[in-house]
Amino acid sequence: MRKQQQIWHNEHLEQTTLPTMANSEPASGVRLFVDWLSTNKIATTGKAVDIGCGKGRNSIYLAEVGYECWALDYIETAIFCAKKLAECKQVQDHIHFVHTAVDIPWQFENDFFDVAVDSFTSIDIETLHGRFICRDELYRTLKPGGYALICVVSCHDEWEQKLIASSPGSEPHSTYWPQNGKFQKNYDEAELRAFYSKFKIVHFQTIQKPAFKLGIDGIATNFLLILQKPTNQQSWLSQL
């Protein structure tokens, strides 16, 4: 088991640094995404992928609103809990749980998904190369014209600002949490826009809200993006 994988395995068992992982309600960003789709008269049906599903709260919500969802995670304990919750919510027939890392090539065909959700998952991929793979697999498997939600932490976040100074990672704006060694890649707006420049950014929002993290109350600062895969994708795919 990889170091970061072991850290997440322990966190799913203990929930010491991120108590919100015990929540069964969907993340607020995922609710906003579904509301945005509905407001823009985009059908909440078809195939969805939840990248790093954790204990399944977002996958279950996507299934409840009408999607057939593929829920990906590399922590067996998390998937076990997610399956139990899906059964409790009676949506287990609409969710396919896949035990896999997301920083390796995905098993799905090109243009497979109608929508995708990355709710604070790719920021925990420890290498830039791994995040490139996750991003490029998202692009490859999303249908032309399909939409993706990306939620990440801003480098101006109250906790991360301090950690960038006191416990920096090997990349700009990255950190290693001293409590458990978890890696996190944070972004400024320009860097984030550049990272997802192959997509069309149809919505960009800075969100600040009260949070409890690392044993401290504070104000979290996050970025929420809604991306669309261009319908004319051939020029970029030919470069892969």
In this structure, are residues 136 and 114 in contact, taking their beta carbons and an 8 Å threshold?
no
Query: Contact 99/79 with Cβ under 8 angstroms?
Result: yes
The confidence score (pLDDT) of residue 216 equals 87
Angstrom distance (rounded) from CA 147 to CA 116:
7
Nearest to 133 by CA among 114, 107, 105, 157: 105
pLDDT of residue 3: 76
pLDDT at 99: 96
- Residue 28: Cβ-neighbour burial (10 angstroms; 0-12, 13-18, 19+): middle
Q: How far apart are CA 130 and CA 221, in angstroms?
A: 24
Helix (H) / strand (E) containing 6? helix 3-14
Residue ranges making up the domain that contains 60: 3-237
For residue 42, give the CATH number of its domain.
3.40.50.150
Q: What is the DSSP letter of 225?
A: E
In the chain, the number of structural domains is: 1
- Asked if residue 16 lies in contact with residue 8, where contact means CB atoms within 8 angstroms, the answer is no
Q: Tens of pLDDT along the chain (240 residues)?
A: 577 777 665 666 565 555 555 567 999 999 999 999 999 999 999 999 999 999 999 999 999 999 999 999 999 999 999 999 999 999 999 999 999 999 999 999 999 999 999 999 999 999 999 999 999 999 999 999 999 999 999 999 999 999 999 999 999 999 999 888 899 999 999 999 999 999 999 999 999 999 888 788 999 999 999 999 999 754 444 444
